[in-house]
């Protein structure tokens, strides 16, 4: 064989070994992966009217009684005794599919948090940290669309 054939064979071999398959998607979260008692560290809200941001709030004022508990059976309990908000506590039901957490049955008298169908995207999940994001778009007849982005950070330790 001449040098040209060796060169072609070398290129083909390098091509086979150089083309690695893409990185696999992260393993989807399951109910037992978010299971545990999580303590709020930070809640951030951005409110938009149309495309204009009109409010940006970050809350880090929590006490030892604030937590959310996800059980592996799709049930949970949340407790909030913050000074800046009404007392919210009660049972709820949830599902996790991939990286999406959905509250399927609220447990509070105030149905807006978390209301049925409230969806959070799991941004980060480790044994120490849980980060969630909710995007809510509200359209009212004759008004601009209002959008709320909520970013919540929780820790497994207090």
DSSP letter string, 56-105: EEEE----TT-EEEE-TTSEEEEEE--TTS--EEEEEEEEEETTEEEEEE
What's the rounded Cα separation, in Å, for the pair 98 and 125? 12
86 — pLDDT class (breaks 50, 70, 90): low
Average pLDDT, the chain: 75
Both tokens assigned to 127: 């044994």
* 26-84 pLDDT, tens digit each: 444 444 489 999 999 998 988 888 888 888 999 898 888 889 999 999 999 888 876 55
Per-residue DSSP letter, 11: H
Q: What is the mean pLDDT of residues 85-102?
A: 81
Closest CA to 131 of 156, 98, 107: 156
Looking from the CA of 134 toward its CB, the CA atoms found within 13 Å total 21
Strand partners for 130: 125, 154
What whole-number distance in Å separates Cα of residue 158 and Cα of residue 153? 13
* The pLDDT of residue 4: 52
pLDDT at 136: 79
- Partnered with residue 28 across adjacent β-strands are none
Q: List the beta bridge partners of residue 102.
A: 95, 119
Residues comprising the chain, all counted: 158
Cα(86)–Cα(48) distance, integer angstroms: 24
64 or 105, which is more confident: 64
């Amino acid at each position: 064989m001449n040098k040209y054939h060796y060169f072609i064979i070398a290129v083909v071999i390098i091509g086979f070994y150089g083309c690695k398959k893409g990185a696999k998607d992260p393993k989807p979260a399951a109910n037992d992966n978010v299971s545990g008692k999580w303590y709020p560290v930070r809640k951030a809200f951005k409110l938009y009217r149309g495309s204009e941001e009109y409010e940006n709030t970050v809350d880090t004022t929590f006490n030892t009684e604030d937590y959310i508990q996800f059980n592996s059976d799709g049930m949970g309990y949340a407790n909030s005794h913050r000074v800046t908000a009404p007392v919210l506590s009660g049972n709820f039901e949830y599902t996790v599919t991939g990286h999406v957490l959905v509250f399927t049955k609220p447990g509070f008298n105030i149905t807006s948090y978390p209301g049925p169908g409230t969806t959070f995207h799991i941004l980060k999940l480790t044994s120490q940290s849980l980060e969630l994001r909710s995007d809510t778009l509200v359209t009212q007849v004759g008004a601009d669309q209002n959008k709320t982005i909520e970013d919540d950070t929780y820790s497994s330790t207090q």
